[in-house]
Structure 1
Amino acid sequence: MFSLTVRDHFMIAHSFGSEAFGPAQRCHGATYVVDVTFKRPDLDRDDLVVDICRASEALHEVLVEFHLQNLDEFEEFKGHNTTTEFMARVVFERLAKVVHKGRLGENAKGLTAMCVTLHESHVAWASYEGAL
């Protein structure tokens, strides 16, 4: 299996709605470093997994929606805790739509899986991985 990873970041504010989160129930900020790994069993005709530039641009376009926003204000997240794990899946789902729409180029049709990792700090991170 071949893989290629691109990286970006976004900063958010949010709060959590459960006593399990202790002080994090209050509004607080987070800066996530985001790694997205694209996977495929064989390289494309240009010996690539996916075009790095297109992958980087697509990731940035997905993240800009959340950058410098309070996630508590997003209607679609009402009733959910926007944990690192939860947001890894959100980024995965949005980026998967970009891949399926062909925005990473014709050769990206050979992609079979993707893993999105959100680094909350240098000692803690969460991932969501799935088939494309």
Structure 2
Amino acid sequence: MFSLTVRDHMMVAHSFTGEVFGPAQQLHGATFVVDATFSRAELDADNIVVDIGLATDQLKTVLGELNYRNLDDLPEFKGVNTSTEFLARVVADRLAERVHSGSLGEGARGLAEITVTLKESHVAWASYRRSL
């Protein structure tokens, strides 16, 4: 399996519901380093996994929808604990939509899966991997 990873970051505000979250039940900020890894069994006709420029641009666009936002205010997240794990899935699903729409180029239609990792710090991160 071949893979290509592109990286960006986003800053959000949010709060959580539930005792397990302790002080994070209060509104707080989070900065995430975001890695999006695109994988496929064989390289495309150009001997690449995916166009690195398009992958970078599309990750930036997806993150731009969330960056500098209070996630508690977004209707699609109303009443949802926007944990690191949950947000990794949101980003992966939105990138998958862009693969299917052709936004990452025709060669990207041969991708097998996407893994998105959100790093909260140098000691904690979460990932979500999905098939395409």
TM value normalised by structure 2: 0.98
Aligned residues: 132
Query: Shift of the alpha carbon at 1:109?
Result: 1.0
- Give the Cα–Cα distance (whole angstroms) in 1 for the partners of residues 7 and 59 of structure 2: 8
For the pair 1:51 / 2:42, whether they are aligned, the reply is no
SS at match of 2:49: coil
Instruction: Report the Cα offset of residue 42 of structure 1.
Output: 0.3
Superposed CA deviations along residues 24-53 of structure 1, whole A, max 9, x for unmatched, are: 000000000000000000001111000000
Instruction: Give distance in 1, aligned partners of 2:49 and 2:68.
Output: 31
Deviation string for 1:68-96 (max 9, x for gaps)?
11000011111210000000000011110
Which residue is 2:113 aligned to?
113
Q: Tell me which amino acid in the other structure corresponds to 2:98.
A: V
Mapped pair 1:64 → 2:64: yes
Question: How far apart, CA to CA, are the structure 1 residues paired with 2:88 and 2:7?
Answer: 13
Distance (whole Å) between structure 1 residues aligned to residue 129 and residue 123 of structure 2: 20
Partner of 2:33: 33
Runs of 4+ with >4 A deviation: none
Root mean square deviation of aligned Cα: 0.5
Runs of 5+ unmatched residues, structure 1: none
Query: Aligned partner of 2:38: which letter?
Result: F
Structure 2: distance between partners of 1:108 and 1:93: 15
Post-superposition offset of 1:60: 0.3
Amino acid at match of 1:50: V
Q: Look up the equivalent residue of 1:33 and give its one-letter code.
A: V
Percent identity between the aligned chains? 63
Where in structure 2 are there 5+ consecutive unaligned residues?
A: none
**TM-score, with normalisation over the residues of structure 1?**
0.98
- Aligned equivalent of 1:83: 83
